[in-house]
């Protein structure tokens, strides 16, 4: 990847991250609702029959704003998360290089990406915990948390710093391999799409967008199974409850 100044990287990454949160949070809310819904009693229908039914129910019962519950936490943290992630990626590359310009193979890029996942989890885990708890609140009348700040205060009051960071191991399980796949596949696609005889600077915005989008797809293929574990742990289920759930649904 081309070197850039930390300030430019922070601004660009932060802006890109904000766009990701604004566009993707409604789908993330649907994902978390589906991941955390309880198993129905015998003869009873599930809370949601699928993605479209979940979308319909949120819209009818909670309005359009229901899709954006819990967005404040990731929105505030997205710029430092992206900055720390790319910093971790550069650290991962530097560990494997004798000189700053030494090229890395795809396996080494995967390893550097895994380092980025470790770095970003430190900031991401608390925000993910708060986000998931707010996303599963379906009624303002019965809501336990008034917002992200109130949620953070209650979590700390009830369980200390460990309560805020609950699900960190599952977040690492999700983000370490997924980040490795993301950075590796992004580099591979950028190289694949570079015109013959040209350089990465010759890539059109559309090709760059395609590379980033497909890297995100590969990222989520790896991330989704542990993300289910993370979501269920972070809404308060015990490890035993989580494995009982997985046993019943597998």
DSSP string, 48-114: -SSHHHHHHHHHHHH-GGGGGTT-HHHHHHHHHHHHHHHHHHHHHHHHH-SSTT----HHHHHHHHH
Domain 6-249 CATH superfamily: Mitochondrial carrier domain (1.50.40.10)
* Nearest CA-CA partner of 176 in 113, 106, 86: 113
pLDDT digits (tens, 9 = 90+) for 203-242: 888 998 899 999 999 999 999 999 999 999 999 865 444 5
Question: Which residues 6+ apart lie within 8 Å of 181 measured at CB?
Answer: 110, 113, 215, 218, 219, 221, 222
Ranges of each domain in the chain: 6-249
pLDDT at position 227, please? Answer: 95
Q: What share of the chain is helix, strand, coil (3-state, %, to 5)?
A: 75, 0, 25
pLDDT digits (tens, 9 = 90+) for 172-195: 999 999 999 999 999 999 999 988
Task: Give the global pTM.
Answer: 0.82
Q: Annotate 90-118 with b (16+ C-beta within 10 A) or e (fewer).
A: bebbeeeeeeeeeebeeebbbbbbbbbbb
Q: Which two tokens stand for residue 157?
A: 């009051």
């Amino acid at each position: 990847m081309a070197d850039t100044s930390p300030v430019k990287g922070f601004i660009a990454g932060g802006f890109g991250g904000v766009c990701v949160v604004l566009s993707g949070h409604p789908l993330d809310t649907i994902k978390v609702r589906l991941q955390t819904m309880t198993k129905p009693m015998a003869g009873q229908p599930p809370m949601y029959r699928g993605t479209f039914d979940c979308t319909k129910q949120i819209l009818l019962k909670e309005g359009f704003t229901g899709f954006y519950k819990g967005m404040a936490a990731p929105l505030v943290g997205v710029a430092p998360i992206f900055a720390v992630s790319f910093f971790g990626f550069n650290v991962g590359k530097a560990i494997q290089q004798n000189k700053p310009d030494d090229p890395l193979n795809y396996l080494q890029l995967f390893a550097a990406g895994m380092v980025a996942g470790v770095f970003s989890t430190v900031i991401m885990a608390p925000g993910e915990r708060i986000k998931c708890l707010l996303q599963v609140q379906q009624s303002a009348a019965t809501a336990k948390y008034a917002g992200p700040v109130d949620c953070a205060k209650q979590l700390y009051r009830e369980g200390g710093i460990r309560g805020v960071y609950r699900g960190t191991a599952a977040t690492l399980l999700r983000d370490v391999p997924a980040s490795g796949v993301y950075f590796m596949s992004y580099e591979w696609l950028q190289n694949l799409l570079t015109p013959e005889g040209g350089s990465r600077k010759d890539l059109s915005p559309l090709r760059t967008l395609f590379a980033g989008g497909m890297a995100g797809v590969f990222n989520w293929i790896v991330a989704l199974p542990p993300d289910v574990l993370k979501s269920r742990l972070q809404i308060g289920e015990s490890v035993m409850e989580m494995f009982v759930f997985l046993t019943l649904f597998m």
